[in-house]
A and B are shown apart, each in its own frame.
Chain A
C-alpha cells in the first residue's frame, strides 16, 4: 500500500512540475485544469507517454495557440529538462500566443534606427524591438482621462435577433397567454416585444511601424479607452511586420499596466511595415472567421507600404466585403495640403468608407463620432 501512495505522489509531482513548465511557456494551466489532467491520467495508462500527452493536451490547453507551446513544454519536461522559473521571461514567450506568424522574413534582432527622417520611410526589413514604456506622465494621464469622457458614447449598435419585452412592437404570444392564464384564461391585455439592439463590434488595427511611432502611443491609448468602455465588443490588433492581438493586455483596468503589458506584447515596435501581408494574416486568422464580420474596422496607419501595393488593395477589398464599415485613420491627413500619395494609401482608399485624421484630440473626437455613426 505505501508503494502505491508513493507512486501516486510521483505522478502528482510530475504533473505539477509539468504544469509549471507549461505556465512558464505561457499556457494558463490553472489548478482546476491540472486537477482535470490528474483525473484524466487516472483513466489512462500512466506509463504510456502518448496517453499522458493526450491527457494533458485535452485538459490543459484551450486554444490552437496553446498546442505548439504544449508540445514544446511536453518535450522539455518529459525529456528531462528543468522547468524555467516563471519570471519576467514569461511575457516574451506569451507573445507567441497572440501573433500570427508571417513568413520568417529577414528578421534582425535589437537594433535602433538613427535619425528622425529614417523613421518616416517604410521598411520591409523586420526589426524586432519592444516598446520602452515608462510610467505615464501626469499630462498623459490627463489626456487619457479626457479621452475617456470623449469616447464613452462611441458604441455603434446593430439590430439583433434577441427580443426583449417592450411596451410597443409585435405581440409576444407567450407572455400574453401566460398573463391570460393568471386572469383565468381571459386575454385582457396584449403584451409586446421588440428586438433589442446590441453593440456592434469595433476592431482597431493600429500600425506600430517606425513611420507611425509619433502617433502609435496616442492611438494605443485611444484603443485602451475603447476596450475599457466595451470590453466584449472591441478587439485591438497591432500591425507592423507582424500581427499581434493586444485586446487581452488592453483589458487591464489600470492604464499604466495595460500599456506596459501591451508594449511588451508587441515584438515589432517601430519596425518596418508589411501592411498587405499583415492584413492578410488578420483576415485569414481572425477576420473571415467572424471578428471582422459586420464590425466597424478601424485601420490606423499612414499607408506606407514598402513593396507592391497590389496585395494591400486586394486585402482591403476583402475586408470591405466582410466588415460593416471600414474607417481609415491617417495622422498625416490632418496636415495642411495633404494628398494621399503613399502607394499603400492610394491602393487602400477605394475600399475605405470614411477617411479621417488622427493626429489630435479633436481628430480623436471626430473619429469617435465616425465610429458611432458607422
Chain B
C-alpha cells in the first residue's frame, strides 16, 4: 500500500492518480495534496460549501490505499470524543467478574488488568495514529470551539497521544491530515501555521463539465454542459448561497431523473430546489429564469 505512495514523485502524477478515482483536481490542489504527503504537513482546506473539500480526503485515501478516519467537529467536542475514552461499563463488569472469581487477592494485578487496551475505546484521532499510515479527515474545524483547537494543535504538532494508564501512542508514519473549514469562524493562526493552506474555488467551466460527466456518466454530455453553464451563471448573481459543485451534481441528477436530456426553462424552474437553498434566491431566479439561465 505504501508502495503506491512512493511511486508518486510529482503533483502531476498525483493528479493523474486522483483522476483515476473520479476526483479531478486543478494544479494548485494537486500540488497542495502532493506537498501534504511529501512534507507530512497537515493540509488546511478552506472554501465555500460544496467545492469538494471532504471529497478530496476520500479520494486521497483511495489513491494511497490508506484507511480514512473522519472526525466531524461541532461545538463542545471534547477529548473523550476525539481521542479515546475508557469503556467504564466493561471495566466495572470486569471488576465484578474478578471479584466473583476471588481475583481481588492481588489488587495490583487487578488494577493493571482494568486499564488494559481492550477497555480503551479509540476515537478517530487515536485510531488514525494507531492504524498508520492513514488519512485523517478533520471536517469543519470552524465548528469546533477554541478549546478544541488548542487541543488539536498539541496532537498535530508531534502526532503522539499519551494515555496516562497505558503509555504513549506514536504514529509510525504521520497520518495525512486534511482539515476543512467553511470559514464560518476565523481559525486561530497558530493552527494554520502548522498547515499548508489552500483556498478552494469553484471549478472552471471545462473542469465542472468533466466532473459532472465523470461522476454522473448517465447524464448526457449536452445536459452536463448546460447545467455547468447555468450553475456558473447562478454564481455570478450575488446570491445568498451560490451553488457549489455538489449542488450542480444534485441538479444534474434531478434533471436526469425527470428524463431531461437537455436543460429547458420549464424543467429548470421546476428543479431549482436542487441548486438553490434560500427562498429569496429561488424567488429571484424563478422570476427571470429565462433571462438569467439562458441568456435570452
Distance A58 CA – B96 CA, assembled complex (angstroms): 55
Which residues, 47 to 64 on A, are CB-close (under 8 Å) to B?
50-51, 54-55, 57-59, 61-64
Interface membership of B85, Cβ < 8 A: yes
Q: A160-B76, A181-B114, A185-B95 are in contact. Are A62 and B89 (CB under 8 A)?
A: no
- Closest Cβ neighbor of A161 among chain B residues: B76
Would you call the interface of chain B mostly helix, strand, loop, or mixed? helix
- Closest Cβ neighbor of A178 among chain B residues: B88
B186 partner residues in chain A, CB cutoff 8 A? 63
The listed residue (B11, B88, B147) touching A44 by CB distance below 8 A is: B11
Q: What's the nearest-Cβ distance from chain B to residue A43, in Å?
A: 4
Interface membership of A134, Cβ < 8 A: no
Which of A4-12, A33-41, A125-133, A332-340 makes up part of the contact surface?
A33-41
**Is the Cβ of A58 less than 8 Å from the Cβ of B35?**
yes
**Is the Cβ of B89 less than 8 Å from the Cβ of A177?**
yes
Which residues, 112 to 162 on A, are CB-close (under 8 Å) to B?
160-162
Per-residue interface assignment for chain B, residues 181 to 222, with 1 indicating a CB less than 8 Å from any chain A CB and 0 otherwise: 011111001001100111100000000000000000000000
Which residues, 151 to 169 on B, are CB-close (under 8 Å) to A?
none
Q: A161-B75, A161-B76 are in contact. Are A289 and B183 (CB under 8 A)?
A: yes
Q: A50-B27, A289-B182 are in contact. Are A44 and B35 (CB under 8 A)?
A: yes
- Closest Cβ neighbor of A57 among chain B residues: B28
Q: A161-B74, A162-B78, A181-B91 are in contact. Are A58 and B197 (CB under 8 A)?
A: yes
Interface membership of A213, Cβ < 8 A: no
Which residues, 10 to 68 on B, are CB-close (under 8 Å) to A?
10-11, 27-28, 31-32, 34-35, 38-39, 41, 46
Would you call the interface of chain A mostly helix, strand, loop, or mixed? helix
Distance A224 CA – B198 CA, assembled complex (angstroms): 32
A39 partner residues in chain B, CB cutoff 8 A? 39
Distance A161 CA – B148 CA, assembled complex (angstroms): 13
Q: A177-B88, A180-B92 are in contact. Are A162 and B147 (CB under 8 A)?
A: yes
**Is the Cβ of B199 less than 8 Å from the Cβ of A67?**
yes
B104 partner residues in chain A, CB cutoff 8 A? 184
Q: Show 13 A/B contacts (Cβ-Cβ < 8 Å), sorted by A.
A: A36-B39, A43-B34, A54-B11, A54-B31, A58-B32, A61-B199, A62-B189, A64-B183, A160-B75, A162-B78, A177-B91, A181-B91, A290-B185
Known contacts A63-B197, A162-B78, A177-B88; 18 additional CB pairs below 8 A are A39-B39, A40-B196, A43-B34, A43-B39, A44-B11, A44-B35, A58-B28, A58-B35, A59-B196, A62-B189, A64-B199, A160-B75, A160-B76, A161-B76, A174-B85, A177-B89, A185-B92, A290-B142
* Contacts from B to A (Cβ < 8 Å): 10-11, 27-28, 31-32, 34-35, 38-39, 41, 46, 74-76, 78, 80, 85-86, 88-89, 91-92, 95-96, 99, 104, 114, 142, 145-147, 182-186, 189, 192-193, 196-199, 238, 240
